[in-house]
Amino acid sequence: MELLDFARGPALDFAMLVFVLGVTWRLVGVLLLPRLRDRSAPREGAPPRLVGALRAIVRRMWPRKEFIQVTLFSTINSYVFHLGLAIVVFGLAAHIVFIHDLFGLSWPSLPSDLVFGVGVITLAALVAALVRRLTHPVLRLLSGPSDYLSWLLTTLPVLTGLLATAQIGARYETLLAAHILSIAAFLIWFPFGKLMHAFLFAFSRGATGMRFSHRGVKV
């Protein structure tokens, strides 16, 4: 079996299985823990709990004005690579074909040069995030192997995707196989580390939103 066939076939199948089962297990495992109801009387005029949750989910998309200056780099850089990843993953024609084959969904693609440019910017932002993590005293203290692994497995698909598109360093088939294998590795790691925040952020923000909207605080 060619490397590319292995990557497209068993490797990706296995990775997706781990991804789906792992994400489900982790979400269900947490959400089934005991719920402690807040029986205190709500502040007069407090919104329904779900509304409080949704408001916090939306509000936390951007820092409060008092914190913008001190979090500016992280905020902007994070937006750049999150949006960049989304544009690359869902905008490239080859990705759309791949997703269509899997799920039968399709949409118009973006020009490939544009997506390539966005890919380069995304990679640069990811490198900037790593440099900051390695040099900022707070981030160095907080970071462990799991953080660096999450970074590596997010960055590799971007890097190999750019190399495959530009056909630099090896045969296209080899580069494509490397790209797909790096995505498989990303999917396998996803449920175990902090990449899960892609799902958890809404629950986490929502829980705080419920707690504090009940008290009449706009978190």
Q: Which stretch binds another protein (CB under 8 A): 10-18, 99-107, 115-123, 204-212?
A: 204-212
Tokens of 171: 């045969």
215 forms part of the interface with another protein (CB under 8 A): yes
C-alpha angle with apex 153: 135 to 22, nearest 5 degrees?
A: 120
Report, in Å, the least distance between residue 87 CB and another protein.
20
Closest CA to 18 of 193, 146, 201: 193
Per-residue x/- mask for another protein, residues 6 to 45, rule CB under 8 A? -------------------xx-xxxxxxxxx-xxxx-x--
- Whole-angstrom distance, CA of residue 104 vs CA of residue 206: 32
- 10-40: buried (b, 16+ CB within 10 Å) or exposed (e) per residue? ebbeebeebbeebbeebeeeeeeeeeeeeee
Report, in Å, the least distance between residue 47 CB and another protein.
12
98 forms part of the interface with another protein (CB under 8 A): no
Residue ranges that bind another protein, judged by CB under 8 A: 25-26, 28-36, 38-41, 43, 56-57, 60, 63-64, 66-67, 70-71, 74-75, 78, 136-143, 147, 192, 194, 196-197, 200-201, 203-209, 211-212, 215-219
